[in-house]
Structure 1
Amino acid sequence: MVADPGFCAPGLDRADLLRSDPDGLRAAMMRPSARLLRMTGLDPDIAEDGGLAWGSLAEADPEAELLLLGLDGAAPRFVAVGHAPGPGQPIPLLWQALAALPERDAAIYAAARSLVDWHARHRFCARCGSETASEKAGWARCCPNCHAEHFPRTDPVVIMLAEHGGRVLLGRQPQYPPRRLSALAGFVEPGETFEGAVARELHEEAGIRVSNIRYIKSQPWPFPSSLMIGCFADAEDDALTIDTTELEEAIWVDEAGVRAAMAGEPDAPFIAPPRLAIAHHLLAIWLELQD
C-alpha cells in the first residue's frame, strides 16, 4: 500500500468556531499552553528533536499579526506574520529539512507557510486598494474602506500520468535538476473541471489526446498554496508534440524504467521525483497496478 505524499497527515484542529469568537481568541492567547510557531522568513525553525520549533507568544514582533493555526488538544497554536516574510534558505536545504520532519509537523508547517505567504501578499484590497486588516484569527482580511472580505486562496493544479502501451509519460521542466523527470502538471483554469484541465494540459504540453481520466489522490502544496489533484489518463497514441516553452523534454517510460528510477538505480533512465511530491506517489501507485 502506497503511503500518502508529504503534507497530507492530519494536522491541528482548525478550531473554526474559535476563529469567529474574539473573546475566546483573546482567552486562548492568554493560556499558558499557547505556543508560537518559530519561522525564519517562510522556512520552519527545527527543534533539537527534529520537529517544528515552538516558542512563547511573547517572542512575536509587536507589529506582527498573530494567526491562529488551530488547537493541539486544548493548546492553541499560532504563527506571526509581518509585512514581508523575507527570503528563505536555498531550496535544496529546505527540502532536506522538510523530508526529515515528522509527517504531522510537515502538515502543520504546510498550512502555516501558505497562510503566512498569503497574508504577506494580500495586504491591500483587490477592490479599492485600501490596506486591509486581519480578521477571523487570520483566516480572512477585511477592507475598512469598502468592507470587502478576502479569504486565503488555494489554487487547484492537476498533475497526471498519461499511459499508453504499458508506459507512462514523464516530462522535465528547465528548473528541474539534471535527469529529473516528473508527471506533467498545470493549473485548473476558471470554468474548467479537473478532468478538462488534465485533457487540455496534456494536449497543450505534449500534443496527446486522452480519455478515461480518473482521480487518484490529492496533496496540499505550500509553494505558495496549491492543491495538487493527481490523476491517471489513457492516451490515444504515443506521438508527442512538445511545447518547449513549458518542457525541455517528455518521454514515454516503461515499467522497468520506472522501477529502476524509483529504486534509485544509477543506470535508471531518469531520477524520480522526491518522496514528498505527489508525482512520486503516482508513480508508486502505477507500479502497484502493474503487479
Structure 2
Amino acid sequence: MPLVGFTGAVLDRADRERNDPAALAAALADSHARLLRLNGLEPEVGAAGQLVWTSLADLPTGSEPLFLGYIDGMPHFAPLALGERHGTVRSPALFQMLALMPADQASLYACARSLVDWHQRHGFCPACGTPTELFRAGWARRCPACAAEHFPRTDPVVIMLAEHGGRVLLGRGPAWPPGRYSALAGFVEVGESIEEAVARETLEEAGVVVSNVRYVASQPWPFPSSLMIACVADAEDDGLTLDTHELEDAFWATRDEVRAALDGEAGARFGAPPPYAIAHTLLRAWLGGDT
C-alpha cells in the first residue's frame, strides 16, 4: 500500500505533557523551539516543499502558541491568531504547494491547520454560549462558566469505489476542475456504521446497490478536519441513477482507463485525483489488487 497523503509525520504529540504546566513552560522557553509560518491557514513553503519554521520570538502579536509536539527532541508550535476566521476557501496556490510537499511535511501541516481552524471556529461554549479558554497546551478549550470541556473534532467521511465486472464507478462534482473524476464520498451520519454509510451514499448519489464493503485505508483531510475512510464494495449491477445535486456525471472506468489517468497519459479519459488525496491511493490499490 503506498503512503497515504497527509500521513507520515515524525511527530511525538506528547499527550503526557499537555496537562503539565512545568513541561509546557520548559517547551516554550526552549531556545530550539520552532514556530510554523502560516499566512492565515496556508503554509509558507521553502525549497523542495519543506515547511518554513521560525523561532517563538516571531510569534505574531495577538497570537497564542499551540503545542504540536516534538520532532527530534525540539518542541514545535503553530500560531493561533486570536479573533480570526478564515472560512473554507482554499487557494490554487495551496494545491500547488501540496503537490510539492513531501508526505511528512503535508502531515505536519494538516495537523497544524486543523488545530488552528478548530480553535478559530469554536470560541464559544456550545452548552451555554460563554467564550471558552484554551487549555491542554492548545488541544482543548474549557468554558469558565459551566466547566464544559471541548476537544478538536474529526468528522468521518467514507470514500469508496463500487466495483462491477472489472470496472469501478467514478463521478465528478459540478465545481471540480475540468475532466477530474474521483471516487464517490460522503459523511458518515449519526447512528451509522462505515459499511452502512458506504451503501447509503453509493445508492443516494448514483442509484447503485452495493455489498461486501472492504476497508482499504484512512487519511486525515484538513479541510477543515475530516477522516477519510477508503473502501471498496461490490455493485449489484451497473445501472446509474445520478443525484445531480451531488454528481455532474459518473461512469464505470476500466483498469486501462484508470491506469492511464493515474499515470497522466495524454488522451486519458479523465483527470485523476492528485497524489495527496486518498482517492488516488484507493485507485492505485484497486489497480494493484490490494482491495
Inter-CA distance 56–10: structure 2 relative to 1 (3 Å threshold): closer
Using the TM superposition, give the Cα deviation of residue 228 of structure 1 relative to its aligned residue in structure 2, in angstroms: 0.4
Inter-CA distance 92–270: structure 2 relative to 1 (3 Å threshold): same
1:1-38 superposed Cα distances (whole Å, 9 cap, x missing partner): x4122111133100001111011101110011111111
1:76-126 superposed Cα distances (whole Å, 9 cap, x missing partner): 101111121547996321111112122211111100000000000000110
> What secondary structure, in the 3-state scheme, does the structure 1 residue paired with 2:169 have?
strand
Using the TM superposition, give the Cα deviation of residue 47 of structure 1 relative to its aligned residue in structure 2, in angstroms: 2.7
Q: Which moved more, 1:248-257 or 1:78-87?
A: 78-87
Inter-CA distance 58–85: structure 2 relative to 1 (3 Å threshold): farther
| TM-score under structure 1 length normalisation | 0.96
Q: Which moved more, 1:102-111 or 1:180-189?
A: 102-111
2:18 aligned partner: 19
1:211 aligned partner: 211
> CA RMSD for the aligned pairs?
1.5
Identity %: 57
Q: Which moved more, 1:53-62 or 1:25-34?
A: 53-62
Inter-CA distance 16–210: structure 2 relative to 1 (3 Å threshold): same
Please tell me whether residue 244 in structure 1 is matched to residue 244 in structure 2: yes
Using the TM superposition, give the Cα deviation of residue 49 of structure 1 relative to its aligned residue in structure 2, in angstroms: 5.5
Please tell me whether residue 173 in structure 1 is matched to residue 173 in structure 2: yes
2:151 aligned partner: 151
- Spell out the pairing of 1:185-196 with structure 2 (5 A cutoff): 185-196=185-196
Q: Runs of 5+ in structure 2 lacking a partner?
A: none
Please tell me whether residue 30 in structure 1 is matched to residue 29 in structure 2: yes
- Spell out the pairing of 1:269-288 with structure 2 (5 A cutoff): 269-288=269-288
Using the TM superposition, give the Cα deviation of residue 169 of structure 1 relative to its aligned residue in structure 2, in angstroms: 0.1
1:242-281 superposed Cα distances (whole Å, 9 cap, x missing partner): 0001010111111121111112122211111111110011
**Which one-letter code corresponds to 1:206 in the other structure?**
A
1:80 aligned partner: 79
Q: Runs of 5+ in structure 1 lacking a partner?
A: none
> What secondary structure, in the 3-state scheme, does the structure 2 residue paired with 1:289 have?
coil
Using the TM superposition, give the Cα deviation of residue 231 of structure 1 relative to its aligned residue in structure 2, in angstroms: 0.1
Q: Check conservation: 1:45, 1:53, Cα contact below 8 A.
A: yes
1:35-69 superposed Cα distances (whole Å, 9 cap, x missing partner): 11110000011134531111111211342221100
1:127 aligned partner: 127
Total equivalences in the alignment: 289
Using the TM superposition, give the Cα deviation of residue 206 of structure 1 relative to its aligned residue in structure 2, in angstroms: 0.5
2:103 aligned partner: 103
Q: Check conservation: 1:42, 1:87, Cα contact below 8 A.
A: no
Using the TM superposition, give the Cα deviation of residue 207 of structure 1 relative to its aligned residue in structure 2, in angstroms: 0.6
Q: Check conservation: 2:88, 2:223, Cα contact below 8 A.
A: no
> What secondary structure, in the 3-state scheme, does the structure 1 residue paired with 2:6 have?
coil
1:131-177 superposed Cα distances (whole Å, 9 cap, x missing partner): 00101000000000111100000000000000001110000001111
**Which one-letter code corresponds to 1:124 in the other structure?**
F
